[in-house]
Amino acid sequence: MDDAMHYDEMPSPAGRLLLVAGREGLREIRFEHERHPRALPAGRVRASAALAFARSQLEEYFAGTRQRFELPLHPLGTPFQLAVWQELGRIPYGATISYGELARRIGKPAAVRAVGAANGRNPLPIVLPCHRVIGADGSLTGFGGGLPLKQWLLALENRTVRGDLFSTPA
């Protein structure tokens, strides 16, 4: 990739996804119906070939055949946000943790609200699985793609772990 910002769109069971990447790696995955839509980066160039690897891995994830992404990532954020997002990438497929546990894992146990805010600004949902973070009581809380999509992603992973891929998502 050159210095331009590349993007592509892809259909998925989660709705249409917009992928954005720079020279250093994948920067964003956006849902078709985000809670907080943002403007696209200036100077972007449609480049399906440049994003084919990411698209392929996302398709494998939705098919239930990929549990771990192997992509160059380059999310932009504060050092705190980057620490939270890095830890999101360590949550095992099919598992969930609480915001409090995520705060403990980054060494900031009192920063639960800040962790929640950073989780909400995750620019790479699915790949950095913020949908695996739930409330301390087990409830589903905020997700940029909406709570029904969060529930669907968790159900997809649960079916895969159980070996029940032939069930149709709700």
- Enumerate the domain spans of the chain: 5-63, 79-162
Confidence at residue 39, expressed as pLDDT on a 0 to 100 scale: 67
CB of 74 closer than 8 Å to CB of 24: yes
Higher pLDDT, 160 or 92: 92
For position 23, what pLDDT does the model report?
87
Name the class of domain 5-63.
alpha beta
pTM across the whole model = 0.86
Instruction: Note whether 5-63 and 79-162 share their fold.
Output: no
Residues 123 and 82: beta-carbon distance below 8 Å:
no
Just give the CATH number of 79-162: 1.10.10.10
Find the catalytic residue in 29, 130, 133, 154. Answer: 130
Reply yes or no on whether 6 is catalytic: no
Pure H helices in the chain? 52-63, 79-88, 99-105, 112-120, 147-162
Return the H-helix or E-strand segment holding 9.
strand 5-10
pLDDT single digits (tens) 110-169:
999 999 999 999 999 999 999 999 988 888 887 878 888 899 999 999 886 655 554 444
Burial class of residue 18, CB neighbours in 10 A (0-12, 13-18, 19+): middle
